[in-house]
Amino acid sequence: MRAFLRLLLFLVICIGLVFIACFVSRTGWFNGLFQPSLTATNNTEVKIEEIVPADGLHPVVADYTEKLIEEAGAIGISILITDGYRTPEEQDRLYQKGRDQNGRIVTNAKGGQSYHNFGLAIDFALLDEDGEPLWDIAYDGNKNGEPDWFEVAELAKELGFEWGGDWANFTDYPHLQMTFGYSIEELQHAQIEFEESELP
């Protein structure tokens, strides 16, 4: 009888271990114990000298962008980053759209007036089932009854991004930015100081 109970206990333990292994494999819970998680950028200190001059997306913003893509994918939403760092010249060309160029106005920021120009902003779009980008804010590709666009925006805000969809004066649904507490004026001033320091 004791031998039977030992065998039964052994089988229960084995089944339990198999169940735990399956759970860990499917959820990635074990990895989370040893991999440092990204903290919200509200708690991330970035010196302005680490931002200016910019020649690409800031590394912290790039890391959180990848995290956003992963988290969106985990709930069945595929997104495409359509824009990141822009030069002031590229910003000026974008500013002209809807003004002296055909199309609608897409930005109120001239060159040097956008967080894109300092590598602190991205734009995103959704990807449909065929992998084609779309900007339909009502699209529900993961069929959970919630617009995918707003689900992505909430994930982004949880990661520390500011969302242009929350702006009252100029709603910009594709836009996400991390300012690290710096205003555009402060960044512009730092850019001027840097350029002056580079003069012979």
Check whether residue 4 and residue 89 sit in a common domain: no
Check whether residue 104 and residue 124 sit in a common domain: yes
Cβ atoms of 96 and 141 closer than 8 Å: no
Q: What pLDDT does 19 receive? A: 56
Q: Please provide the distance, in angstroms rounded to a whole number, between the alpha carbons at the two ends of the chain.
A: 93
Check whether residue 14 and residue 62 sit in a common domain: no
The chain-wide mean pLDDT, for the chain, equals 86
Q: What pLDDT does 100 receive? A: 84
Rounded CA-CA distance 184/200 in Å is: 27
Between 59-74 and 148-159, two packed helices, what is the crossing angle to 10 degrees? 140
More confident residue, 31 or 81: 81
Q: What pLDDT does 1 receive? A: 63
Check whether residue 104 and residue 180 sit in a common domain: yes
**Surface-to-core class of residue 130, CB atoms within 10 Å of its CB (0-12 exposed, 13-18 middle, 19+ buried):** exposed
Each residue's pLDDT tens digit, 8-35: 666 667 676 655 554 433 333 333 333 3
Check whether residue 27 and residue 78 sit in a common domain: no
Beta bridge pairs of residue 127: 133
Check whether residue 20 and residue 88 sit in a common domain: no
pLDDT category, 158, cuts 50, 70, 90? very high
Check whether residue 68 and residue 158 sit in a common domain: yes
Contacts of 87-92 with CB under 8 Å at 24 or more apart are 87/111, 87/117, 88/112, 88/117, 91/116, 91/117
Cβ atoms of 61 and 120 closer than 8 Å: yes
Segment 67-72 shows an average pLDDT of: 98
Question: Domain holding 125: CATH number?
Answer: 3.30.1380.10
Which residue range(s) make up the domain with 6?
Answer: 1-35
For residue 3, pLDDT over 90 is answered with no
Rounded CA-CA distance 198/200 in Å is: 6
**pTM: predicted TM-score of the whole model, two decimal places:** 0.77
Number of domains in the chain: 2
Check whether residue 108 and residue 157 sit in a common domain: yes
Low-confidence winner among 25-39, 113-127, 137-151, 153-167 (lowest mean pLDDT): 25-39
Check whether residue 90 and residue 113 sit in a common domain: yes
Rounded CA-CA distance 60/82 in Å is: 18
Check whether residue 56 and residue 1 sit in a common domain: no
Check whether residue 78 and residue 140 sit in a common domain: yes
Q: With residue 147 as reference, give the H or E element that holds it.
A: none
